[in-house]
Structure 1
């Protein structure tokens, strides 16, 4: 099978998808915007060909590259696993008659307003939402639904560009900050109180082949805006708990309503006083290396399972569910450059055998802003057989390790 894979060299975990495709027998042809010589020898060894273009999100350039490859060999699949690449890949897939996620599905997984309209019609519980093109339209929505409200770009990923407005004054401020006041279209939503988590799947021909549930501590808006918080994402190993049945059923309905065939999905949800509410979906894997948590927690290679689904329409391993696995972000105490770490040696002494991934930037490294995400500065990934004990350990890590900057 011949598979075109977009941007094999960046970001860093893209190579894991290439490696997995090659491991299940695929001939992988990379299309990227960096020179072939920039790729390392190991990555090159997994590629059967490579085509450089100026930008993989330029649909004209991407179509040219795909047709150039098609002139030499039959192309079975065109795969993209980065949010920014999904729509361009879908359009070119249809133009070049390659099976995979359709442009309609990619659009519905990208545009927050259209997504929720389709899902509400399918009976999926979602927050009230609308598309707005001016502060006046945002004010009208807030008057009808009530404060607080969330304002975000229609095609944002995660918490990027997301603002909370608790009253009319804050709405005016976030309308300016978001660009809505200057004419940038946005999605506005009812604020849903409750705990936030996500449901990730590997769908095969519209059915769930693998699934995983993770929790945010605290919710994303708080975690990505507050420096002193060391936010966590924790994947549960209690997938058979009856409390998750509603989440799984909601996810299956979303996959069906949006016409998702074979792809990774990432679905955000809230649970609170109004019950379970669907938030949004990405037709791609989650960020912050979350698949690495799933691999470490389940004693298997989820990247290979994805490649099996893409190339052979099936998976061949079962997740062990042996461990809960979580990542904790460790923020510098101020912007500047890393000076050092306090408490890290004690944590390594106590819990080093549970750590399955980590990053501690060297002294002198420039800090990244708080809103840059979980892996922007220091972080640790830890697993444990007991979910509650893992939560306690992660809390202890956050309280103990201090990242000093100046």
Structure 2
């Protein structure tokens, strides 16, 4: 199978998708923005060809690249695993006749108001939402639904630029902020009270063949706005033992069918609270923030290779037996500036060494990243354990014991 892969060299984990595809027998042709010689030797060795473009989000350049590749070899698939690349990839597929996720499905997975309307029409419970092109529409929505409300870019990924507003003053400020950043249209939605998590899958012809359920502690908006929090997300190994996880999986399958997702990775966010389970949003691509690393560690299976095996051979290579839960705890510097040192690392290593997957501790003098930059922006520790509750306690202990000093 000949597979064109978009941007094999950046960001850094892109190479893992290429290596996985090559490991299961695919012939991978990369299309990227870097010079081929700048790719590392192992990555170059996994590629059967490489085509440089000025930008992988330039539709004309990408279409020309794929058509050139098609003039040399038959192209079976075109894969893009970064959110910002998915729409152009879908448009190129339709222009060149390459199978894969359609423009319509990609648009529904990126445009949040349209996504939610399609899912409401299919009977999937979601928050009330709307697309806002003018300020008066936001005020009308607020009057109808009430506060609190969530505002976000229509095609944003994760919590980036997501804003909660609790009153008229905050709504006015948020609208001004979005306007000053050039946003011509935004998504506005009802704030759903409850616990937040995500459900990730690998699908084949619209059916889930692998899945994982993961919890946030605390919810993302809170985690990304307070320095003192050492936030976590933890994937559970209890999916077979809970009616709630069965409900999450059933909802996920309905979402996949309603949006017409064929063979792809997906990343779905959900809330569970007083109103029950509510779908939040979906990305038709793998999750970020090292989630597949946790899924690999929790199953002793290479999830990147599983994804590749489903694409190339149409079936999984291994089942997810879930011997472990696995999670990450983010460790925030006590101030912005430069890293000055750490404490508590040796104590954690001595207490939990056998359960630590890995850790990341930027060296002294390294510039810190903002709190809202995410779970892997500064220091972090990843761990696994057979018991979910024990793992949660261990991650809490890491967050309380390890201190990151900066200034």
1:358 Cα deviation after fit = 1.6
Partners of 1:353 and 1:374 lie apart in 2 by 22
Q: Is 1:121 the counterpart of 2:126 in the alignment? A: no
Q: CA offsets per residue over residues 191-240 of structure 1, 9 Å max, x none?
A: 00000000000000000000000000000000011111011010000011
Partners of 1:281 and 1:190 lie apart in 2 by 17
Partners of 1:134 and 1:369 lie apart in 2 by 31
Q: CA offsets per residue over residues 67-87 of structure 1, 9 Å max, x none?
A: 111111100000001101111
Q: May I ask how many residue pairs the two structures share in their alignment?
A: 406
Partners of 2:201 and 2:369 lie apart in 1 by 30
Partners of 1:375 and 1:259 lie apart in 2 by 32
> Which residue is equivalent to 1:337?
338
1:179 Cα deviation after fit = 2.3
Q: Is 1:355 the counterpart of 2:353 in the alignment? A: no
Aligned residue for 1:314, secondary structure, equals coil
TM-score, structure 2 normalization: 0.98
Q: CA offsets per residue over residues 287-335 of structure 1, 9 Å max, x none?
A: 1010000000001111111111111111120112000000111010110
The answer on whether the counterparts of 1:134 and 1:180 sit within 8 Å (CA) in structure 2 is no
- RMSD between superposed Cα atoms in Å: 1.0
1:129 Cα deviation after fit = 0.2
> Which residue is equivalent to 2:319?
318
Partners of 1:358 and 1:181 lie apart in 2 by 36
The answer on whether the counterparts of 1:112 and 1:155 sit within 8 Å (CA) in structure 2 is yes
Partners of 1:180 and 1:135 lie apart in 2 by 13
Q: CA offsets per residue over residues 44-64 of structure 1, 9 Å max, x none?
A: 110000001011011111001
1:33-44 paired onto structure 2 within 5 Å: 33-44=33-44
> Which residue is equivalent to 1:212?
212
Partners of 2:74 and 2:182 lie apart in 1 by 47
Structure 1: state its 5+ residue gaps: none
Partners of 1:183 and 1:400 lie apart in 2 by 42
The answer on whether the counterparts of 1:175 and 1:181 sit within 8 Å (CA) in structure 2 is no
Partners of 1:179 and 1:126 lie apart in 2 by 27
1:107-146 paired onto structure 2 within 5 Å: 107-146=107-146
The answer on whether the counterparts of 2:29 and 2:50 sit within 8 Å (CA) in structure 1 is yes
Partners of 2:251 and 2:185 lie apart in 1 by 28
Partners of 2:179 and 2:336 lie apart in 1 by 26
1:54-133 paired onto structure 2 within 5 Å: 54-133=54-133
> Which residue is equivalent to 1:225?
225
Where has structure 1 moved over 3 Å in runs of 4 or more?
A: 180-183
1:162 Cα deviation after fit = 0.4
1:175 Cα deviation after fit = 1.0
Q: CA offsets per residue over residues 353-390 of structure 1, 9 Å max, x none?
A: 21112210000000000111111100111000000000
> Which residue is equivalent to 1:269?
270
Partners of 2:350 and 2:340 lie apart in 1 by 22
> Which residue is equivalent to 1:254?
255
The answer on whether the counterparts of 1:135 and 1:180 sit within 8 Å (CA) in structure 2 is no
Aligned residue for 2:72, secondary structure, equals coil
1:180 Cα deviation after fit = 7.4
1:243 Cα deviation after fit = 1.9
The answer on whether the counterparts of 1:133 and 1:183 sit within 8 Å (CA) in structure 2 is no
> Which residue is equivalent to 1:196?
196
> Which residue is equivalent to 1:175?
175
Partners of 1:183 and 1:220 lie apart in 2 by 23
> Which residue is equivalent to 2:392?
391
Q: CA offsets per residue over residues 142-184 of structure 1, 9 Å max, x none?
A: 1000100000000010001100000111111111122279662
1:245 Cα deviation after fit = 1.3
Partners of 2:180 and 2:122 lie apart in 1 by 30
The answer on whether the counterparts of 1:176 and 1:182 sit within 8 Å (CA) in structure 2 is no
The answer on whether the counterparts of 2:153 and 2:183 sit within 8 Å (CA) in structure 1 is no
The answer on whether the counterparts of 1:326 and 1:381 sit within 8 Å (CA) in structure 2 is yes
> Which residue is equivalent to 1:26?
26
Aligned residue for 1:200, secondary structure, equals strand
Structure 2: state its 5+ residue gaps: none
Partners of 1:162 and 1:178 lie apart in 2 by 10
